[in-house]
């Protein structure tokens, strides 16, 4: 759409909204669900902190080539869990799966009930070359400075994995026995997103071969974000991931003649490839305003402060303008469409040699509702050079969308909702990949949330420099897992 048309559309929608009843906007209170008050939860924050620090000191770094992963570091982590959580290792069955994955089974008393699972991954991403010196504290030292714990894995996701173990140990100390079987599934190469050797998949296949069908599972992917923009919004946005985008790779090859660079054709294969890349980049995928994205917009519009709410209270009329604005914001745009990124390029190995072939690698993040076949169709349509060879190189379809009216979803909402009046629940589609998708063969209710409260700036340290977590989030994080397991497994 042309810029002028865009501006007219936004202006007219804004004008329309501004003409609305201002009193209604001022008085408007988002429908507040009453959440049950929760009794205090006993949490051993000291043991949790000590265990998380020790876990971060295990350098469980992922590598696409598993022979390059240091198994000893994973064994160190397993031994740590054994030492810190003796009851968990006495009462639950522990199995080593594949390279270094762990499957714990906490047998329930009623085998007629479908089991539940809590997922976690033990691995972390490496430190990017040249950034080690930028860390305030070394990434594997797990130093606490001014109430913040620094280290690789602090939020992705040793905090979550150790939190689950801490909760199980404490529940056992309190004499709790589940009615419903509880599985803890800890993969070890989640960070290698397109790995053909996913160890999480190995766990899920193991469960499938035993005839296990899960009621629901909980993994990382969503979180509790403190969103404070003075005069606009002052809430904790609680994102519960109910689905995730697909992640696929295509290779596009343009053939050439090769030969000596002293007698080149008008366009070499590399030059023709440049046109192909322009064709791709000039044709982004269309925006899809799914029911999920509409719901996100609705919830956010309802929760901004007055007088900004003057504009947003009539979000239905504003929807086209909001969608248009979001489609042009990096990050927000990814929520609404399949994204494409040309990433790898190959041509001639030498300055004086003409390329025989020139290739581009393109990564796509597919939004639920679209498929790998749609990506291929799109490429064939937009690439004008019909000699270009388009090859699917692997990846996975978007996940299923999990229901927002299930027992598990309602429990997560109740638990997080009752933590604070500022919490606003937002079901959403996770843009990255998680291990959860590997369990769709045995589960249709997959939820993604890490119950640790943090500011926006901290979230962005995941996979980056100075990854860190506030110590103040530990108590409520572990308490969430205790309440979640206790309630979900007792009925």
Q: Which range of residues in 102-110, 148-156, 234-242, 447-455 is near Zn ion by CB under 5 A? A: 148-156
Q: Is the CB of 142 or the CB of 252 nearer to Zn ion?
A: 142
56 is a site residue for Zn ion (CB under 5 A): no
Query: Closer CB to Zn ion, residue 59 or residue 337?
Result: 59
Q: Are 385 and 273 in contact (CB under 8 A)?
A: no
DSSP per residue over 37-62, as a string? PPPP----HHHHHHHHHHHHTS--B-
Torsion, Cα of 189, 195, 196, 202 (10° steps): 20
Nearer to Zn ion, 73 or 156 (CB): 156
Per-residue b or e along 268-283, where b marks 16 or more CB atoms closer than 10 Å to that residue's CB: bbbbbbeebbebbeee
Stretch that binds Zn ion, among 5-13, 100-108, 150-158, 180-188 (CB under 5 A): 150-158
Task: Output 215 or 467, the one with its CB closest to Zn ion.
Answer: 467
| List of residues 6+ apart from 199 with CB closer than 8 A | 97, 98, 99, 100, 101, 187, 188, 189
User: Among 73, 156, 414, 467, which residue interacts with Zn ion (rule: CB under 5 A)?
Assistant: 156
Minimum distance, C-beta of residue 152 to Zn ion, in the bound complex (Å): 11
Residue 435 touches Zn ion, criterion: CB under 5 A: no
Find the DSSP H helices in 110-177.
158-173
Q: Which is nearer to Zn ion, 156 or 414 (CB)?
A: 156
Q: Of 67-75, 108-116, 155-163, 445-453, which part binds Zn ion (CB under 5 A)?
A: 155-163
Residue 153 C-beta: closest distance to Zn ion, Å: 9
CA separation for the pair 92, 448 (Å, rounded): 24
By CB under 5 A, residue 192 contacts Zn ion: no
Residue-level length of the chain: 491
φ/ψ bin of 220: left (φ > 0), alpha (ψ from -120 to 50), beta (otherwise)? beta
- Residue 383 lies near Zn ion (rule: CB under 5 A): no
Give the residue, chosen from 17, 149, 157, 449, that forms a contact with Zn ion under the rule CB under 5 A: 157
Question: Measured from the CB of residue 99, what is the shortest distance to Zn ion in angstroms?
Answer: 17
- Closest Cα partner for 477 from 407, 417, 419, 424? 419
Q: Cβ(62)–Cβ(124) under 8 Å?
A: yes
Q: Which of 166, 220 has the CB closer to Zn ion?
A: 220
Helices (H) and strands (E) in the chain, counts: 15, 17
Place of tokens 């996979």: 463
Options 56-64, 157-165, 221-229, 294-302: segment touching Zn ion (CB under 5 A): 157-165
Q: Please say whether the beta carbons of 73 and 61 come within 8 A.
A: yes
Give the SS3 label for residue 135: coil
Q: How far is the CB of 157 from Zn ion (least distance, A)?
A: 4
Least separation in angstroms between residue 468's CB and Zn ion is 15
Listed in order, strand segments (DSSP E) in 283-436 are 339-346, 357-366, 389-396, 423-430
Does 430 participate in binding Zn ion (rule CB under 5 A)? no
**Site membership for Zn ion, residue 80 (CB under 5 A):** no
Residue 156 or 166 having the CB closest to Zn ion: 156
Q: How far is the CB of 158 from Zn ion (least distance, A)?
A: 10
Query: Taking CB positions, which residue lies at the least distance from Zn ion?
Result: 156
Residues at the interface with Zn ion (CB under 5 A)? 156-157
């Amino acid at each position: 759409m042309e810029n002028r048309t865009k501006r007219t559309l936004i202006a007219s929608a804004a004008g329309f909204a501004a003409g609305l009843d201002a009193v209604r906007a001022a008085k408007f209170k988002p429908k507040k669900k009453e959440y049950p008050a929760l009794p205090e939860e006993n949490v051993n924050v000291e043991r949790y902190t000590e265990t998380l620090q020790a876990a971060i000191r295990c350098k469980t770094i992922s590598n696409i080539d598993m022979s390059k992963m240091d198994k000893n570091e994973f064994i160190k982590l397993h031994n740590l869990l054994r030492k810190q959580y003796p009851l968990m290792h006495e009462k639950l069955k522990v199995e080593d799966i594949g390279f270094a994955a762990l499957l714990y089974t906490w047998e329930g008393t009623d085998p007629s009930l479908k089991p539940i699972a809590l997922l976690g991954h033990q691995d972390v991403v490496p430190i990017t070359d040249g950034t080690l010196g930028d860390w305030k504290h070394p990434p594997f030292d797990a130093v606490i400075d001014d109430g913040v714990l620094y280290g690789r894995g602090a939020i992705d996701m040793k905090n979550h994995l150790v939190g689950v173990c801490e909760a199980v140990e404490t529940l056992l100390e309190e004499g709790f026995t589940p009615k419903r079987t509880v599985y803890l599934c800890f993969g070890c190469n989640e960070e290698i997103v397109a790995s053909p050797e996913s160890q999480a998949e190995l766990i899920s296949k193991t469960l499938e071969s035993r005839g296990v069908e899960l009621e629901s599972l909980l993994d990382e992917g969503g979180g509790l974000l403190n969103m404070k923009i003075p005069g606009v919004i002052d809430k904790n946005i609680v994102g519960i991931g109910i689905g995730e985008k697909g992640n696929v790779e295509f290779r596009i090859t343009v053939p050439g003649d090769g030969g000596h660079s002293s007698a080149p054709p008008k366009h070499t294969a590399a030059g023709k490839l440049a046109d192909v890349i322009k064709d791709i980049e000039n044709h982004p995928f269309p925006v899809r305003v799914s029911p999920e994205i509409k719901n996100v917009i609705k919830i956010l519009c309802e929760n901004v402060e007055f007088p900004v709410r003057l504009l947003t209270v009539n979000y239905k009329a504003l929807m086209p303008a909001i969608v248009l604005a979001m489609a042009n914001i990096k990050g927000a745009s990814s929520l609404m469409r399949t994204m494409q990124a040309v990433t790898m390029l190959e041509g001639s190995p030498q300055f004086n040699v003409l390329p025989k072939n020139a290739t581009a690698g393109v990564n796509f993040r597919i939004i639920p509702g679209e498929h790998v076949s749609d990506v291929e169709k799109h490429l064939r349509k937009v690439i004008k050079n019909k000699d270009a060879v388009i090859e699917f190189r692997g990846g996975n379809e978007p996940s299923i969308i999990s229901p927002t009216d299930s027992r598990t979803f309602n429990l997560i909402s109740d638990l997080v909702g009752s933590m604070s009046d500022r919490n606003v629940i937002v079901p959403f589609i996770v843009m990255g990949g998680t291990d959860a998708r590997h369990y769709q063969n045995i589960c249709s209710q997959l939820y993604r949330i890490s119950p640790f409260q943090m500011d926006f700036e901290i979230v962005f340290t995941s996979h980056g420099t100075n990854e860190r977590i506030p110590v103040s989030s530990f108590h409520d994080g572990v308490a969430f897992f205790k309440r979640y397991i206790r309630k979900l497994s007792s009925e």
